[in-house]
Every structure is written in structure tokens, then in C-alpha cells.
Structure 1
Amino acid sequence: MDVSCDLEVDVNGEEVFMVDKKVICSYAGRINKLFGKSKRGTRYLKVIFHDFPGGAESFELITRFCYNKGKIHEINPINVSTLYCAASYMEMEKSVSGNQNLFELTKKSLEDIRYWTWSELLDALKLCQNLMPVASSSGLIDKYLDSLIGRVASSCETSPCPSTSSADSSGLRLSCDSKSTESLRNSVFRATWWFEDLAAFEPFLIEILVKQMVSKNLDHGILSKFLFYYQKSRFAAVKSMDEKCKTMETVIEMLYLLDLSCMPFKTLFGLLRITLNLKISKCSRNKLESMIGSQLDQANLDNLLLTSPVGSSYLYDVNLVLRLLKSFISKGACCVPLTRLRKVASLMDLYIAEVAPDPCLKPSKFLGLVKSLPESARDSYDAIYHATVMFLEVHSGISEEEKLKVCSGLNYEKLSSEACSHLAQNKKFPSKSAGQALISQQVKLKSLLQETNQSSPYLDSPCSFMETENMSTEDQQIVLYAGKLDLSTENEKLKEHLQGMQWRVLELEKVCRKMQNQMAKMLKSRVSSQNNARSLPRLCS
């Protein structure tokens, strides 16, 4: 055969090959389209490949096939992936001039994939990582993963004993261990035996793998465990921050596809702590926070006390907690069971008490934490009141207007008598807040007295509760028991009025307690007299 080297082929910048154009065109449709009609001997032709699958080594296999008149020594699990992708890239799907079709030969060889060992299947998949994107677009990766997932799924019914050290070992075999003491260990092994083998794959391959496993309805709990295992293994193996970010983003994206109830909350928070030191994408970070926020009732105070990002002045990452709270009630507070809502409210009371003494915490952030949950989430606002006391003591320099905004987070109706009394004497609080607290106490006492069908002389003043009931909030802050008071000024007269009102509240509480005790005694004596009357014998007339 007349052979001449009239075609120069640059393969991915790795190596340059001088080949016979006529020979290559006889088998490769891609080259034939480019130079099939050009005349030999005119000049050297050159083609540059930037993304040839497998690089120079793969192209050399193709040239050997062409120069050997379409014959190849052997197609096996070791070289079939490279030959298949190279044949697909060079458009060898159709034979040129009736010659042997390499693509069909490799495709036929892939039909025997079910007979491959587990080790051969893993090696083929690892090799595909260097054959992208052709390995994906040609469907080769899907073929391998379909076989791999089938073996993983079947291992739930049979106990696999795969060996990655021997190419002659079978991928699966039935367990011969029947000891009852080994049953638990074997059941765990049946579910997780493949973790270590697959942890060596690149993130993009893990993404394709998990998506296919989800589509085939594999257990979400096992998949989440694998993803957590993969993250730890991958972080121990790679050093580059970019690779760690890519790994973390892949793990988060795949976890987001799974059922949240199958994931350990503690492990999710562990991922969150790791991401604080990584520059992952905003989309991935939002998805992780959404998963954690939806289960916020499972958190504890230590989970939330995360230090603020670098460059921030405040101590703890309050913005993160606010985002988690937003995720928790993203579907509306009415959709969250009251028990879960109150668990989060109790947690937030502890958290707010921790962050309140931070001198760099802004009033708007403090108020945002307080108002992040609906008022129905709390039976008592005493904890919020004590946190507000700490906040105002540390932030004594804020304006009166800002103090009022901070106090607007309090529900005065859900404050205890002790808290209201303390508030009325606390000079750090605005006067209007003190007035609101006292009015709230008056409302409670009036309601209590009405329940006992009793009246009190203290509620019969010209400006009693019945008059203030229909007034606006601002008027109720100004109009108290004895008439209008100028609560906008801090003078001695105002202090005397506040002290007088506090004394009246205490007296009313004493009256209520006294009446309750009297009613209890009356009821007790009435019951005992009835019992005695029944026990007396009838006198004969």
C-alpha cells in the first residue's frame, strides 16, 4: 500500500502525529468531511484537536486500527471506554468505503457489561472521567452507571462481598454468614459496602450517579449517608480550596433532592460550619440554610452561636439566624404546628439573651430577632423583657425613638406582674412603655375581677378601664387612672404618678388574691355542709 505522511494532527497540544490522510479518511468520517476531497501532494494539511477524548494515547489507538485495515487485537473492559469515545468523536459510526466499523465493534463489546467484575466496572467509570464530555454525550457513562446502580440495589437483598483487588472476583455473592450476632453488622454492610469504592469519583460523576439513584427510588437515608461520607473522604484527599468548594456544592445540591426527614440534623449543621470557611456559591448556601431552617426546632443554642463573618463588628452571626428563621416559617406560621413553633420560640429566647449584651448589635437586628416569630409562639414575654433590659443597658446611648422601636417587640399583655412592676421603675425604658405596661396590668385585673363578679373602688375612677378601652394606643399611653399625664417629659410629677399607679396595681392584686381565697373558702364550706347534711339520720316524728 502506498503510504505517505501528508496530514499533520495536533492532539490536545500533547503530541503531533504525521499520518496518511487517505488511510485515516477511509475509517474516520470526521477527517473525511474535512479533507476527503483534497488532492494528495499539493501541500501538507494540518488539523488541531483541542478536546480529543483520551488525548494522544487514544488517538494512537485509532491510527493503529486504521493502518491495520480495520482490525484490532482485542476489545476488553480496559480499552473499550477509550475506543468507544474516540470512535464516537472521530465519527466512525458508519463505515467508509465498506471498511470495518470501530464504533459498532465497541458497542457490541459493551453488551457484555453484565459479565464484568465490580473492579472492572469501577475502573471503566474512573477512566470515563478523562474522556469527558464525549463519555457523557455518547451515553457511555449512563450505561456504566445503570449497571453499577443495579448491583448496588440488588445488594440490599444479597450480601455483597466485592473485591477491588482482583479482576477475577465476582462483584456479588450470597452471604454464607448465618450467625445471629453478625446480623446487624451484615445489614449495615449490605447498605454501605459501596461507599468507599465510589468516594474516589469526581464531583461531576457523583452528581450524575446520585440523580440516577434518586430516579430509581433508592433509599434516601442511605444516599444522604453516602453524600456525608463522600464529603469527608473528598476533603481528606484534596488540598485545593476550589476542589473543596466544588465538592461541597455538589453534596449540597444532591442533598437538596432528598427527603429532609432522612438526614441527621446535626450533620447538616456540621456542613454549615464547614461552609463558613469556604466561598461556595450563593445558590448552594441558600439551599443548605433552607434545609437547616426547615428543621430549626431540632437545633440547640450551641448550634446557633456561630461567630460572625470576617470583617463584621458584631459577635455572632445574627443575619444567619434571621435567615434560618425565615426558612422555618417560609410557608407561613399558620402551617407550622404550634408545638414546633413554641420550641423555636424557646430557643430564640435563649439566643436573644446571649446576643443582647453585644454592644455592636444594632437595634434593628435585635427587633428583627424578637419579631421573627408570631406572638402566638410565646405564652410569656418575660424572657424577651429581660433581654430587652440587657440590650438597653448596653445601648444606653441610643435615641428615645430607637428605644421605643426596641420596646415595640414586647407584648405587654403577656408580661407577668413582676415584669410590669420592674418595667415601671426601670429608667432605661421610655415613659410610654411604662404606661403601656401599667395599662396592660389594669386590663388583666379588670378581667379577673369581672370573672369573680366583684368590683373594686380602684377601677371606679373617672378615667377607668371602660373609658380607655375604646381609645387609641397613643391615648392609652397618655390617659391613665387620674386623667391626662404628659409622658413625654421626665419630671418629678410624672415619677410620682407612676409610683402611685404602681401602688394601685399592687393593691388591686392583693384585693384579687383576697377575693379568690374567700371564694375558695366559701365553696369549700358549702361542699362540706352539703356532705354533712346527707350524712345526718332522719328524725322520727
Structure 2
Amino acid sequence: MESTSTRASPVIKSPFSSPSTGFLLRRRILAWSQETGLPPSVCVRVEGRSFELHKSPLASKCGYLKKAFLKTADVELPPTFPGGSQTFEMVALFSYDFPLSLDPFTVVAIRCAAEFLEMTEDYATSNLRQRSDLYINQVVLQSWDDTLIVLQKCQMLLPISEDLLLVSRCVESLAFMACMEILDPEQRRDRPVISLQALAGRAWNSEIVKEIAGLDLWIKDLIALPFEFFKRIIVSLRRQGMKEKYVSPIILFYANKWVLSKKTHKFWENVAEQNGADDANSKVSAILQGILELLPAGEKASPVVPVAFYFALLSRSLTLQLSEESRGKLHHQVASLLHFARVEDFLFPQSGVKYITSSPELETMEKIISIHLSKSETSYMASTPLHSGSAVAELWDRYLSQIAGDPNLGPGKFKELIEMIPVTSRQTHDHLYEAMNTFLLEHPHLSSEEKASVCKYLNCQKLSQETCIQAVQNEFMPLRLIVQALFVQQLHTHQAFKDCSESFRYINCREFSGTIPSSRCQFLKSENIGETPYKQATGMEENISAPLSSVLHNGLAIQSTGLSEGEYESTSFRIQALEQEIFSLKQSLQRKNSSKESAQKNPRIPSFRLLRLERRATVTKRNPVGQARSCIGSMSWTSQRKYANRILKVFRRIVMLGKANLR
């Protein structure tokens, strides 16, 4: 196949544009009369034109005329004669043994005329039908441009061109050459095949799609064909093995040109002015219905067809007279891919609509959501991701937040729209809160009962901390909701302090559990290991024994409560650390005084008793009533160093006291 990516459009002039055919025919008739000495003896009438010809040349090659001349010398061809009078001139020239020159513009009409006039091998060797077939097979079907020209000429000669398999042969040839165009490594070595990856996650833009389609001229040629031929080429492409990622973009390019393009809208408007609006709408509707039949269905379309394209078709279908079957098919296709969509793709009610409840855009979106929810409960949607329900719920809440500002949207309809999504599908209520807030701002005169009925669907436990704080400060929200938000915020703060404290205790327990037995430490290890927020955040065993400074640097609990690092230390742990320190020092002094008194009363007590008291005092200092370790773990490194120095001083005094008694 010749390169169609860099070729120029063919410039071939049709012989019908020149009067030379009629002039040549008159010369051949005159020459035949001079050679045979016989004047023209028959008359053939075609489209009101009369041709005075000799009988013998026509009867020797045309079976149809040979049979007709047996009855009369004046024959009139029917209006269904392919090609009309111009084609008959060329047939008559061939009958007079004139060397006929075939080209892609005329070969279809000549082949059909030869079939109609029965110019077969039964009447003459190398007759017109055989010559035209040979030219089509060896010349036309070997060239992309010639095949396109012949296929376009076949449209004007239906159904006889279809009966002669001219259309099928051209379709198969174009499909084969298109497959070779994609598979040819030399043509695609420096430039990849056109795809729609650039449109992923973006709104549908007809002009951008048109520019992409124009990068390859062979695609541009295909989407210029009538839809019936285009449809058959797509079927042939799939039958010959072209991958869907190459076939589907061609269908999208065709739909973009003939259904979605703004220039096409003007073209169909001009057609409507000439032939009537119903005729134009019926043609666009037929193309759209055919596009829906060609596109892959269900989840097969997700990798190759953008969801924005389906929403663009959905928006266009609202102004067309689609059949219920085609409209339902489009709704089901959009519903099956709804979890891949963006809220910008959704259909929004047109501005200026008096009653938003009767808006076709909103009604269409409600149908699609209902279909999606019904499909999610069946095996048809079994291949969809597990998070598709929550994704659709979030999209719907964001959609509601954008239409909630319509003053014509009443509380009853707004509640119906909220109830369309099941409660279990909403993983977060942040976007639902935005929708409710927008609705309440637009409807400030609602009564307390109406506000409460609208906001009853909001679960404060599924709000983020920032949204919960906004709800507490929102004066338009019902009082009951504000109280619930306050309670949830208090629980969040309390839980954050608790998780942080347990995390610090667990870290300190892991550091000292190997040397100091403690029932409290074992309880923490057995009960709270899985609940430690620090461990959940890191997920690494070796990070559990990280120093306190690294934990505070991560700021897990501090971020959850909204306090700064300095405020958090001073308010939560400093008082506890000071109390534990004072308590430990007080008990150390008491034990020192008691040991001094016992030593004075019993000076001959063996030294191992004093050492046992010292060891017990040491253990007590380390873990007074099971709480000293949490005190140390909850202080900064500077406080821990000071605390350790004080304990060491106490130990030195006790040891010195014991040595003095021994002496």
C-alpha cells in the first residue's frame, strides 16, 4: 500500500467534464457508415437523448439490445439504466471497437451498464464486463485513493453496485490496507498510532479531537465516507484482526465529525432549512444509533473510550429523536462506566429553566444513577472496582453541591436527590455537607423543621476535622447538628490525646520491658499494640523504639488535635511529669530516713539487708506503682536528663550511707 500519511489528494479529471466523448462517437458512426456503406438503422433513447446508431455493432456485443432489436428498431432504455446518457455514449464507443480508457471515476458506471446490457463473453470475447472487472481488480483495488473514489461512486449506483459486489470488494480492500497501515513498521517507526490517551481525564473538546483525527490522512478519508460504508469498514477491520484500541478511536472521530462538531451543527441546520428539520434530525439520529451499535459495550469500553465522549453523546441525544431502545442503551453504557467519570462531565440543567425538576438534564442523570445502582447489585457489575460505589456517591454529592444553588430547587426534591445514594455507599460526608450548606444559603427562609429534615442525612462522624469545625461555626445549620458536631469534635480530640499517650507508653515499655518486670507493661503490650497510632503510621517494627523527639516530629497526635508541639507538651505531659518526679523523690527521702533509723537501732545488721533495701528502692524509683516509666516517656529529652541526674544523686547518697554504716 502506498503511504497515505504523506500523500496528497488525487487530482483526476472525469471524462464527463469534457464533450470529447460525444464528438468521438459521431466520428465513429460516420467512419462506420463510410466503411460499410450503410446508414444508421436503429435509435436508442436514454434520458431524453436519442442516439442514431448501426444495428450490427450493438447487437454483436449487447445481449439486451440484440433481444430488443428483434421487436423494434426504436429502443428506449428505462430510467434505472446505470450512468445515464453519458455512460451509454462510452458503451456505444466500445461497441464501435474504440479503445476505451477506464478510470476510477467511470469504471463503476461502465461495469454496471455492462451488466445491465448483458455485455458478457457469451456475445463477444474480451467484452466490456470482463475488461471493467479486470481493471477494478488489478488497478483500483491496489490503490487507497482509487478504491475510495470507486466506493464513493458506488453510492450513486445502488443497489446494482451492491449486487455486483463492488461495494464489498472496496470495503474489504480498504480494511486490509488500513490494517497494513497500522502494522507497517517503517511508517510507524518514528510516530505512534493515533490514540485518545491525550483526552483521558479531560472534557470532550470537538476541535481538539478533530485536530487529532487529521494527523493521519487515512483516518480522515475513512470518516468522510457515508455511514453505511463506514460501518461495514469497521466490521471488516475487526474481522481482519485489528485491535480494539485502534478501531474505537476511528469510531469516535466519525461521531465527533458527524454528530458532535459545531460545524456539523451548522451543516445540519442548513439541511433542515432545505429539506425540513425532521429530515435533518432523522439523519443525525440514525448516525448516532449506528455509532452506539459499533462502540464496545460494558467494561470493554473503559480502556479505549473516554467517559466524556459518552456524556457528549448523551447531551446531543437530548435534542434528537432517538428511539427508546437506543436511548436506553446509551443510558446503560454511561451507567456502567460512571465510576470513571468526572463531575464536570455530568449534565447540568440549563440556566433559565423555570422548574429544575422538569429539566431533561436532571431527569437523565437521575435515570443513570438509578441504572448504576440497580446494576451494582447484579453480576453484570461484578468486574467493577470495590470502590466504585463510594466513587459514584462522591460524584453525586459533588453534583448536588453545584445544583443546590438553584432557587427553584425545593426541599422535597433536594431530599429525593440525596436519598438516591444509599447511606452505606457514602464513605465521607464532606461533599454532602457542601451541598447542604449551599442549599441552606440559597434558601435562608426555611423553617427549623425543614432545615432539620434536610440535614438529617448528614452523619457528623463521617466528616473530616476541618469540615466538622466548619459545621460547628455554621449559623445556618440546625442546632441539633451543631451539637452533634461539637460532640464528635470533642471525641476526636479526646481520642487523639488518648492514642498519643498510649503510643508513648508503649514505646517506653518496649525500651525497658527486658530489664524491669511490670504487669502494667505486659498489659500494654498485649492489649494496645494493635491500637498504637504510631505503629500504624509507620508500619515498621524497628521504629517502635524510636526516641520521643522523632515521634513528636511526626506530629501524628498533634495534627489530629490541632495544637502546636509546645502547647501539646506543656498542657498534656508537663504537669504529670512534675507530679511523678515529686512523688518519686518524696518516696526516696522516706526510704532513706527509714533505713537510717533502722541502722541506728540495729548497728549489727548484716550488710546484705541494706543492699536488698537499696535494690528495692532502686526498683521503686524506676517504676513507682507502675507509673514512673510513663512519666519518663512523656517528657522531653532535657527533662529526662534532669530527672535521671536527680535519681542518680539519690542513689549515690544511699550508697554512701550504706558504706558509712558498714564502716
The question of a shared fold, defined as TM-score above 0.5 by the shorter chain, is answered with: yes
Does residue 1:84 correspond to 2:119, yes or no?
A: no
Q: Distance in 2 between matches of 1:187 and 1:533?
A: 65
Instruction: Confirm or deny: 8 A CA contact 2:108 2:153 kept in the other structure.
Output: yes
Give 1:299's match in structure 2, choosing from 341, 350, 370. Answer: 341
Give 1:150's match in structure 2, choosing from 176, 190, 196. Answer: 176
Does residue 1:200 correspond to 2:224, yes or no?
A: yes
Counterpart amino acid of residue 359 in structure 1 = P
Q: 1:187/1:99 Cα in 2 relative to 1: closer, same or farther (>3 Å)?
A: closer
How far residue 377 of structure 1 moved from its aligned partner, in angstroms, is 1.7
Q: Distance in 2 between matches of 1:368 and 1:91?
A: 71
Does residue 1:325 correspond to 2:369, yes or no?
A: yes
How far residue 240 of structure 1 moved from its aligned partner, in angstroms, is 2.9
Q: Distance in 2 between matches of 1:48 and 1:401?
A: 82
Counterpart amino acid of residue 103 in structure 1 = R
Q: Distance in 1 between matches of 2:365 and 2:161?
A: 43
How far residue 516 of structure 1 moved from its aligned partner, in angstroms, is 10
How far residue 352 of structure 1 moved from its aligned partner, in angstroms, is 0.9
SS in 1 for 2:365: helix
Q: Distance in 1 between matches of 2:487 and 2:414?
A: 35
Instruction: Confirm or deny: 8 A CA contact 2:174 2:233 kept in the other structure.
Output: no
Q: 1:378/1:233 Cα in 2 relative to 1: closer, same or farther (>3 Å)?
A: closer
Cross-structure match for 1:535: 515
Instruction: Confirm or deny: 8 A CA contact 1:265 1:295 kept in the other structure.
Output: no
How far residue 350 of structure 1 moved from its aligned partner, in angstroms, is 0.9
Q: Distance in 1 between matches of 2:54 and 2:416?
A: 73
Q: Distance in 2 between matches of 1:341 and 1:508?
A: 26
Alignment of 1:21-60 (within 5 A): 39-40=71-72, 48-49=78-79, 51-60=80-89
Does residue 1:217 correspond to 2:197, yes or no?
A: no
Q: Distance in 2 between matches of 1:519 and 1:414?
A: 18
Does residue 1:240 correspond to 2:264, yes or no?
A: no
Q: Distance in 2 between matches of 1:206 and 1:364?
A: 49
Q: Distance in 1 between matches of 2:246 and 2:506?
A: 67
Q: Distance in 2 between matches of 1:351 and 1:112?
A: 60
- 1:95-124 CA-to-partner distances (Å, cap 9, x unmatched) read 676787533332333331477433323322
Q: Distance in 1 between matches of 2:501 and 2:513?
A: 18
Q: 1:250/1:533 Cα in 2 relative to 1: closer, same or farther (>3 Å)?
A: closer
Cross-structure match for 2:131: 105
Cross-structure match for 1:178: none
Which ranges of structure 2 fall in alignment gaps of 5 or more residues?
1-37, 195-212, 270-279, 518-610, 617-663
Counterpart amino acid of residue 90 in structure 2 = L
- 1:200-246 CA-to-partner distances (Å, cap 9, x unmatched) read 32333222222211222213222333334445556557823439826
Instruction: Confirm or deny: 8 A CA contact 1:203 1:250 kept in the other structure.
Output: no
SS in 1 for 2:387: helix
In terms of mean alpha carbon deviation, does 365-374 or 388-397 score higher? Answer: 388-397
Tell me which structure has the larger Cα radius of gyration. Answer: 2
- 1:345-400 CA-to-partner distances (Å, cap 9, x unmatched) read 11111111221232333667544533443433212446436635654776799999
Report the TM-score, using the length of structure 2 for normalisation: 0.51
Q: How many residues align?
A: 437
Cross-structure match for 2:288: 249
Cross-structure match for 1:351: 399
Q: Distance in 2 between matches of 1:508 and 1:4?
A: 108
Instruction: Confirm or deny: 8 A CA contact 2:308 2:341 kept in the other structure.
Output: no
Q: Distance in 1 between matches of 2:455 and 2:65?
A: 78
Instruction: Confirm or deny: 8 A CA contact 2:46 2:85 kept in the other structure.
Output: no
Q: 1:362/1:95 Cα in 2 relative to 1: closer, same or farther (>3 Å)?
A: farther
In terms of mean alpha carbon deviation, does 355-364 or 524-533 score higher? Answer: 524-533
Instruction: Confirm or deny: 8 A CA contact 2:347 2:361 kept in the other structure.
Output: yes
SS in 1 for 2:406: coil
SS in 1 for 2:320: coil
How far residue 140 of structure 1 moved from its aligned partner, in angstroms, is 0.6
SS in 2 for 1:302: helix
Alignment of 1:375-390 (within 5 A): 375-381=423-429, 383-384=431-432, 387-388=435-436
Does residue 1:126 correspond to 2:152, yes or no?
A: yes
Q: 1:109/1:339 Cα in 2 relative to 1: closer, same or farther (>3 Å)?
A: same
Q: 1:274/1:329 Cα in 2 relative to 1: closer, same or farther (>3 Å)?
A: closer
Q: Distance in 2 between matches of 1:310 and 1:48?
A: 59
Q: Distance in 1 between matches of 2:59 and 2:422?
A: 74
Alignment of 1:383-532 (within 5 A): 383-384=431-432, 387-388=435-436, 391=439, 410=457
- 1:16-39 CA-to-partner distances (Å, cap 9, x unmatched) read 446779777876666788x677x4
Bigger proportion of residues as helix: 2
Does residue 1:68 correspond to 2:74, yes or no?
A: no
How far residue 344 of structure 1 moved from its aligned partner, in angstroms, is 1.7
Give 1:275's match in structure 2, choosing from 306, 313, 316. Answer: 316
Report the TM-score, using the length of structure 1 for normalisation: 0.61
Instruction: Confirm or deny: 8 A CA contact 2:147 2:170 kept in the other structure.
Output: yes
Does residue 1:361 correspond to 2:400, yes or no?
A: no
SS in 1 for 2:242: coil
Q: Distance in 1 between matches of 2:54 and 2:351?
A: 61
In terms of mean alpha carbon deviation, does 240-249 or 221-230 score higher? Answer: 240-249
Q: Distance in 2 between matches of 1:512 and 1:154?
A: 64
How far residue 268 of structure 1 moved from its aligned partner, in angstroms, is 0.8
In terms of mean alpha carbon deviation, does 243-252 or 369-378 score higher? Answer: 243-252
Cross-structure match for 2:585: none
Q: Distance in 2 between matches of 1:122 and 1:354?
A: 49
Q: 1:222/1:304 Cα in 2 relative to 1: closer, same or farther (>3 Å)?
A: same
Q: 1:3/1:185 Cα in 2 relative to 1: closer, same or farther (>3 Å)?
A: same
Tell me the percent identity: 19
